[in-house]
A and B are shown apart, each in its own frame.
Chain A
Amino acid sequence: MLSRATRMLAWIAYLIPGVVAAHEITAQADLRAVIVDSPLDSFAEGGTGELRFGGDDDGLRLGALMIDASGELIDTVRYDITARATGDGDQNPIDLTEAYLEWRPYPSSVWRWKTRAGAFYAPISLENRAVGWDSLYSISPAAINTWIGEELRTIGVETSLTLLGAAAGRRFDVSVVAAGFGWNDPAGVLLFQRGWAIHDRQTALFGELPRPLIRNPRIPNIEFFDEVDHRAGYYAGLEAKISGRHVLRALHYDNRGDTNKEDGREPTWLTKFDALGARLEFPHDVTAIAQFMQGDTAFRPSADGRGGMINDFDSWFLLLSQQHQAHRYTVRYDRMNTTTVRGARFIDSHQDADAWTVAYLFDLSDHWQFAAEAIQLSGSLRQRAVLGLSQSATERLLQIAARFTF
Chain B
Amino acid sequence: VAAEAAAGKVAPLDDPGRSIRVDLSRRFCGICAVEHVRPARRGAESAPVNLPSHRFVVVLLGLALAASTARAAELSVDVLDMAGRPARNVVVIATPKTPLPAAARSAAMVEMDQIDRQFSPYVLAVHTGTRVLFVNNDSIAHQVYSFSPVKRFELALYHGTPREPVVFDRPGVVTIGCNIHDNMLGYLYVTDAPWFGTTDGKGHWRAAEVPAGEYEVQVWSPLLPPQDATLTQQIVIGAAPTRASFKLTHALRPEPAPIKDKRVRDY
A residues in contact (CB < 8 Å) with B? 21-22, 24, 71-72, 75-76, 78, 104, 106-110, 112, 129-131, 134, 136, 162, 164, 166-169, 171, 173, 243-245, 281, 323, 366, 405
Expressed in whole angstroms, the Cα–Cα distance for A232 and B205 within the complex equals: 60
Contact at B179–A169, with CB atoms within 8 Å? no
Expressed in whole angstroms, the Cα–Cα distance for A131 and B266 within the complex equals: 8
For residue B204, give the distance in angstroms from its CB to the closest CB of chain A: 24
Contact at B183–A136, with CB atoms within 8 Å? no
Is B216 engaged at the interface, CB distance under 8 Å to the other chain? no
Expressed in whole angstroms, the Cα–Cα distance for A323 and B156 within the complex equals: 34
Contact at A167–B226, with CB atoms within 8 Å? no
For residue B130, give the distance in angstroms from its CB to the closest CB of chain A: 22
Expressed in whole angstroms, the Cα–Cα distance for A171 and B182 within the complex equals: 14
Segment touching A, from B37-45, B98-106, B256-264: B256-264
List 25 interface pairs A-B (beta carbons < 8 Å), by A numbering: A21-B156, A22-B158, A72-B157, A106-B145, A107-B147, A107-B179, A108-B152, A110-B147, A130-B263, A130-B264, A131-B263, A134-B263, A136-B261, A136-B264, A162-B182, A164-B182, A167-B175, A169-B222, A169-B225, A169-B226, A171-B253, A173-B182, A243-B253, A244-B183, A323-B261
For window 142-176 of B, CB contacts with A under 8 Å fall at 143, 145, 147, 152, 154, 156-159, 175
Q: Assuming A104-B179, A245-B254, A281-B257, what are 13 further A-B pairs, CB within 8 angstroms?
A: A21-B156, A24-B140, A71-B141, A72-B157, A76-B179, A106-B145, A130-B265, A131-B265, A136-B263, A169-B224, A169-B225, A169-B226, A173-B182
Given contacts A72-B157, A107-B145, A107-B177, contact A112 B264 (CB under 8 A): no
Is B185 engaged at the interface, CB distance under 8 Å to the other chain? yes
Closest to B158 in A: A22
Is B22 engaged at the interface, CB distance under 8 Å to the other chain? no
Contact at B226–A21, with CB atoms within 8 Å? no
* Chain A residues with CB below 8 A from B179, complex form: 76, 104, 106-107
Contact at B157–A75, with CB atoms within 8 Å? yes
Is B229 engaged at the interface, CB distance under 8 Å to the other chain? yes
Given contacts A104-B179, A243-B253, contact A168 B264 (CB under 8 A): no
Is B180 engaged at the interface, CB distance under 8 Å to the other chain? yes
* Chain B residues with CB below 8 A from A76, complex form: 179
**Interface residues contributed by chain B, number (CB under 8 Å):** 33
Contact at A167–B177, with CB atoms within 8 Å? yes
Contact at B180–A245, with CB atoms within 8 Å? no
* Chain A residues with CB below 8 A from B175, complex form: 167
Expressed in whole angstroms, the Cα–Cα distance for A305 and B2 within the complex equals: 74
Interface of A is mostly: loop
Expressed in whole angstroms, the Cα–Cα distance for A348 and B225 within the complex equals: 57
Contact at A22–B159, with CB atoms within 8 Å? yes
For residue A198, give the distance in angstroms from its CB to the closest CB of chain B: 20
Closest to B154 in A: A106
Expressed in whole angstroms, the Cα–Cα distance for A387 and B152 within the complex equals: 66
Contact at B265–A109, with CB atoms within 8 Å? no
For residue A157, give the distance in angstroms from its CB to the closest CB of chain B: 19
- Interface residue from B152, B156, B254 paired with A243 (Cβ < 8 Å): B254
Contact at B256–A166, with CB atoms within 8 Å? yes
Contact at A104–B180, with CB atoms within 8 Å? yes
Expressed in whole angstroms, the Cα–Cα distance for A164 and B179 within the complex equals: 12
Most chain A CB within 10 A, of B179, B262, B265, is at B265
Expressed in whole angstroms, the Cα–Cα distance for A112 and B143 within the complex equals: 14
For residue B9, give the distance in angstroms from its CB to the closest CB of chain A: 36
Contact with A along B206-246 (1 / 0, CB 8 A): 00000000000000001011100100000000000000000
* Chain B residues with CB below 8 A from A71, complex form: 141
Contact at B156–A75, with CB atoms within 8 Å? yes
Contact at A245–B263, with CB atoms within 8 Å? no
Query: 4 tightest A-B contacts by CB?
Result: A169-B226, A130-B263, A129-B266, A22-B141
Expressed in whole angstroms, the Cα–Cα distance for A178 and B156 within the complex equals: 28
- Interface residue from A72, A109, A244 paired with B141 (Cβ < 8 Å): A72
* Chain A residues with CB below 8 A from B253, complex form: 171, 243
Expressed in whole angstroms, the Cα–Cα distance for A405 and B263 within the complex equals: 10
* Chain A residues with CB below 8 A from B143, complex form: 106
* Chain B residues with CB below 8 A from A323, complex form: 261
Most chain A CB within 10 A, of B156, B180, B182, B224, is at B182
* Chain A residues with CB below 8 A from B156, complex form: 21, 75
* Chain A residues with CB below 8 A from B152, complex form: 108
Contact at B257–A245, with CB atoms within 8 Å? yes
For residue A81, give the distance in angstroms from its CB to the closest CB of chain B: 13
Most chain B CB within 10 A, of A106, A107, A243, A323, is at A106
- Interface residue from B225, B254, B263, B266 paired with A244 (Cβ < 8 Å): B254
